[in-house]
Every structure is written in C-alpha cells, then in structure tokens.
Structure 1
C-alpha cells in the first residue's frame, strides 16, 4: 500500500469485502465530483475558475486515497450515485449558479463524518468545500438578486393574485366570458403595476445608495491639513473604521499628499459597488417584473381561454397554478440554498390559502346577490 493509504487512522477496523465495496463507491463519487467542478470551471473565468479547479484537485486527492486502499484500479466499479450523476448532467445543460446551489447542499452531507477509513484531513476538506461552494454561490446570487427577485415576486404575484381573482369572480356565478375578461384585465393591470412599482423601487434604492457613496470632494484640501490636528480621521470613522485605524490612515494620506504631485483620493475604505449590484438595474427589474407577472397571471386564466367553465375550469386552474407554485417555490429554495420541498409547499399553501378565501367570499356574494 502507498503512504497515502497508510494515513488511515490506526483505530480503523480490519477491512471487509463490504468495506471494499464502499471504498469503490466513494472512489467513483469523488471522481464524479471532480468532473463536476471541472465542468463548472469551463464556464467561468479568472478567480472563480481557479477556485473550481482547486476543488476538483482536492476531490482527485480523495479519490487517490480510496484507490490506494483498493490496491489499484478495480476490474469493476459501481455507477456514480444518482445525485452526483444528476449534478454532472445539469452542469452541462443548466446555469452554473443553479448547479452550485445544489452542490452546496450536497457538500453539507459529508460521507466522511462516520467513515473509519477516511483521514481527519479528508473530513475537514469536505466541511471546507461546503463553505467554498457557498461563497461561490453567494457571488452569483449577488449578481442575480435584483432581477431574480423581481422575476420571482412577479411570477408568484401573478399566479396567486389572478387565481384568487378568477376564482372569486367565478364563484359569484357570472358567465364564463366575464371570468375570462376579469382574468385578462387583472393580468394587464397587475403586470403594469408590478413593472412600474419595481422600477420606482429599484431606482429609488440606487439613488439612495449613490447619495451615500464616498467621494473625493475634499481631496484638494489634503495639502493644507495639519498633520497632528485635523478632521480627516473623522471622515474614515464615519465610513466604519475604528478610531485608531482612522487616525493612522489620515496621517498616511496627508503625508502622501505632501510627497506626490497627484493628490491621493479620499475615497475608501468602504465602497457600495456590491450594494448596487444586489439592487439591480431599474429597467431590468421592471421588465422582468412585468413579464413574469404576466406569465404567472395567464396560467389561472388558461382553462377559461380554452372553453372550460364551472367546476372543471376551477379544478384545472387549481392544478395548473399548484404545479407552477411548487416549481417556483422549489427553484427559490434551490437557489437560496434552502430545502426545496419546504419552500415549494410553503408557496403552495400561500397560493391556495389566498384562493380559498376569495372563493368563499365569491360564494357569499353570489348567494347574497342571488
């Protein structure tokens, strides 16, 4: 056996045939994870590619450990697990952030916590991998969050509000064409309202952030400040630095100003570029909100558009909207690193709850008016 295999904890029991089968499974899974990270690395550049490549190399080290324990390449190897295989397929066909979010959840379930033949370093590696993948996914979420928030909110608002509207109107007993007209009117009014509201909201947030960005208006005053008695340190304290660090930075800035032809900038240390990225672009958020609200709001109306009416239309609308709510809820859960099933069921409960309330109200008004 190699030195790598010899690094197995001394307390590990004598291996059995079952142990060797498990090693083969771990070998296959580690190789599959390495391929996954390399596939994701192909889609990135710069630092992100380097990080993903380093993760793949770490998985290669783990695979080499199990290969050494097995004494060489086995004649037959098991197939990779369903989860790992699925992730590998998705890495080639879906966005990298979606796959990273799934990989983040997979990395939290380390197979080495109770594995007697894994080294402590391997178990530690897996825990660190979870944080590395979380950090990479967080980068993508920050870039996506503005338009993604508008898209998700828009789609769910369209689904829930228009389902509630058509069921409430339909429960009063009006003609099917009136339910259809109400649903289409609700779609247009809601989409315009969502788009306009999102535009105003994002534009206002960006203007607020712009007003709080540090600037260089005082840069030309550096040459005239007293080295030991000045208020420049107060500028840095307002930007989050401690008193000691702010005083040291102020002294360095003034000394630099006297020794340079070009005055140094006063900006820093805090910048809000990432805050602007999180908020997103106003027009992008508005268009996303409009389109996704409309795409969600059209679903409850589809049964009436194809000629259904009465209970058949209501049931069809509930089924279509239910499937859509489960999908959007699961997607939000996956991208946020949360359990997708829980998020999906929460979305379904909220949507059906709102629809049930308006349907009951429609029945009451229908009976009263009748």
Structure 2
C-alpha cells in the first residue's frame, strides 16, 4: 500500500518530490554529522542536534511515502557538494554554504510539509549563521587584510601596467614599473595594516577595565555604591546600575576570583568576565594582518605582470593581463560572497566590474597622453 495524504493516494509528481525531499534531508543530516566530526564541545553538540532535526524531517517523508519509498535517491548537487566539502574541510566556508542551503528551503510553499518543518528550517538557518559567525570572527582580521591586499594588488597593478603600457612605453619600462608597483604597494599595505590593527587594539585595550580595579571590590562601601557609577558610565540607566552594582557587591563570595564586573557596555553583558570579550580575536593580530596583507598584495600584483615577464607585448600582453586579473577578481569576489552568506556570483561580478573599471580609466588616461599600444 502506497503513502497517502488524507484519503487520497499521492500522484506520481508528489511521490517523486517526496523522495527527493527524503534524499535531501538524509544528505543534510550527513553534512551536519560530518561537520560535527571535525569539532568538539558545544559546536559539536549543536551540529549533532541539527542532524537529529533533519532525521525528524526525514521520518515525515518516510511516513507519507509508506511503501512507495523506492530506491534511495541522491541528494541534490548542492547538498552533495556541501557534504564533500564538510568531509574534507569542515571550515567556516562550509558553514556559510550550509547557511545559504537552509535559506533555500521550499517547505514554506509546499502543502505537504508541515508548518513546524518550515519553521525548523528558518531556525536552522539562524543556528548555522551563529556557528558561522564564530568562525568569521576568528578569521575576520587576517581574512580582511588578505582580501583587501589581494584585491588592491590586482586592481592597482593592472591599472598601473595598462596605464603605462597605453602611453607607448617599452616592455622593459612596463615590466620595471609593474615590479616596482608590486614591491612598493606590498610594503605600503603591510605597514598600513600593522599600524591600523595595532592602533585599533590599543584603543580597545584603553577601553577595557584596569587590572587595579579588580582588587577594589572587597573594600567598596555597599551603601555608597560607587560601582554603580561604572555601569552608568558604560551606558546603563541609574536605577538599573544601582541594582546591578548592589547585586555584585553583596555577592562577593560568589564572584571571588572571577572579577566579572566593569566589562559590560549594556544591561545583558554587565557581568561578563574580561576573558570572554573577543574584540581582539575579531580584529586579528597586527603582525598577522601585516603579513597577510603583504603576501596577498604581492600575489595579486604579480598577476598583471606575468604576461610581460613571459615576454608578451602589445595587445597580447594587455589581453592576458586583463583576463588573468579578471579571473582572480572573480575568485576573490566569490570567496567574500561565500563567507558572508551572500550570492557568490553577484559578489564576483561586482568585484570584476570595479577592478576592470579602474583599469580602464587609467588605460584611457595612458592613451590620452601617449602613443598607444605598440
């Protein structure tokens, strides 16, 4: 006896759709299990809970199909690709792709899926977004420097090489200009990132509670409640600041050794320990950002010079430079799109348009002041 909805036997189209849903749910559960296998602690537990939820959805389709389950199907191409990546990498990029996969759920528009299943998928998206955010925070400082460095190297050196080339300069001059631009730009980017990140970390450090304040708790007058001034200075209402400070001061034994005060900037985080603040992790280290920026700028800036290094000249060199840089820009744009949970295609095309637009402007300027490509 086949599966039914109510008292009506399912159509062939319904049966095919249910079988595909079943395959997709099984594939998604496998993705979360594979991701969990590469993690420990809380993240592993969350991923395994998501896999269990997908199994509940799987059971829904098994119940509807009844004896019509048939031969197991493969999940859709995107889910299978995601599973392959999860088994081999398990990185934040895989979580970002999983976030987009959850957002594509069609259960909202399918009468055969329950409202709870549709709600589950929306919540799953937010759960995966939260896990991906942890990874984004861990790599954001170095990743930002790497992406900016590579993009700047690609665009600035392509613009420089094409601008000089369009002026009618010799191949030797173009090559020397490109290599000088590579070295000067990489050094400038590395130094700039170091100073920028170092300054940002110092500003954050200046805003963190001083270590001497930790030892003052036991000696404060509960009635005077000067601790409330700290909370008020960090944005809390006077009444709420008084209440929070009084709670902390009357519970010194509970908080002994942890010094959970003086960190909060809002009412929900007023008792978060200093060690749990992760602004420094988010912006990265100055040396790491500088090295990433230098290396990726140099790598990006080398791409438009390659054709000239290999002996190409004239329109051939221009075409190869623009084409190679275009491919690299598509790659960096797509990478940013994946990591941010946005459309990789749109981000790639945006990056390409910006890069080629800048190069075209300098090329036309070179034509205006030179004799054209030899």
Higher mean C-alpha displacement, 182-191 vs 75-84: 75-84
Asked if 1:297 corresponds to 2:292, the answer is: no
**Contact residue 29 and residue 54 of structure 2 kept, 8 A:** yes
Indicate which of 235, 249, 255 corresponds to 1:254. Answer: 249
Quickly say closer, same or farther: Cα 1:308–1:120, change in 2 above 3 A. same
| More off after superposition, 38-47 vs 149-158 | 38-47
Alignment of 1:4-83 (within 5 A): 14-72=9-67, 74-83=69-78
Greater mean deviation of Cα atoms: 191-200 or 241-250: 241-250
1:107 aligned residue:
102
1:326 matched to which residue of 2? 330
Q: Deviations over 1:71-129 (max 9, x none)?
A: 15733233221111111111123352111111111111112112112111111111101
**Residue 364 of structure 1 aligns with which residue?**
368
> Per the alignment, do residues 329 and 100 of structure 1 end up closer, same or farther by CA in structure 2, a change over 3 Å counting?
same
1:125 aligns with 2:129: no
In the other structure, the counterpart of 2:88 is: 93
Is the partner of 2:250 in helix, strand or coil? helix
Cα–Cα, structure 1 residues 260 and 189, in superposed 2: closer, same or farther, change >3 Å? closer
Name the CA shift for 1:165/1:217 in 2 (closer, same or farther; >3 Å). same
Q: Find the counterpart in structure 2 of residue 313 from structure 1.
A: 317
Using the TM superposition, give the Cα deviation of residue 227 of structure 1 relative to its aligned residue in structure 2, in angstroms: 2.5
Deviation at 1:214, TM superposition (A): 1.6
Separation in structure 2 between the aligned mates of residue 184 and residue 67 of structure 1, nearest angstrom: 63
**Is 2:163 the counterpart of 1:168?**
yes
Q: 1:61 to 1:220 in 2, by over 3 A?
A: closer
Tell me how far 1:219 sits from its aligned partner.
4.2
CA 49–14 in structure 1, closer or farther in 2 if over 3 Å, else same? same
Deviation at 1:260, TM superposition (A): 8.7
**Deviation by residue 1:109-166 (Cα, 9 ceiling, x = unmatched):** 1121121121111111111011111111111101110000000000000000000000
Provide TM-score, normalisation by structure 2.
Answer: 0.90
**Cα-to-partner distance string for 1:347-367 (whole Å, 9 max, x where unaligned):** 111111110111111111114
Measured in 2, the distance between the counterparts of 1:73 and 1:211 equals 66
Unaligned runs of 5+ in 1: none
In the alignment, what sits opposite 1:288?
A: 292
Q: Distance in 2 between matches of 1:105 and 1:290?
A: 32
C-alpha deviation, 1:35, in angstroms = 0.4
In structure 2, the gaps of 5 or more residues are 264-269
Whether 1:276 aligns to 2:280 is: yes
How far residue 221 of structure 1 moved from its aligned partner, in angstroms, is 4.1
- What is the alpha-carbon distance in structure 1 between the residues aligned to residue 81 and residue 255 of structure 2? 60
Contact map agreement 2:231 2:241 (CA 8 A) in 1 = yes
1:210 counterpart = 2:205: yes
Whole-angstrom CA distance in 2 between matches of 1:13 and 1:96: 45
Measure how far apart 1:240 and its partner are. 3.7
Residues 1:119 and 1:158: Cα distance change in structure 2 (over 3 Å): same
Partners of 2:32 and 2:133 lie apart in 1 by 16
- Number of aligned residue pairs: 361
CA-CA distance at 1:225 after TM superposition: 3.5
* 1:267 alignment partner in structure 2: 262
> What's 1:116 paired with?
111
Task: Give TM-score, length-normalised by structure 1.
Answer: 0.91
Seen in structure 2, the aligned counterparts of structure 1 residues 284 and 127 have a Cα distance that, compared at 3 Å, is same
Query: Bigger shift: 216-225 or 35-44?
Result: 216-225
1:244-274 superposed Cα distances (whole Å, 9 cap, x missing partner): 33212222333345x6996773433355732
1:156 matched to 2:145? The reply is no
Compute the displacement of 1:173 (Å): 0.8
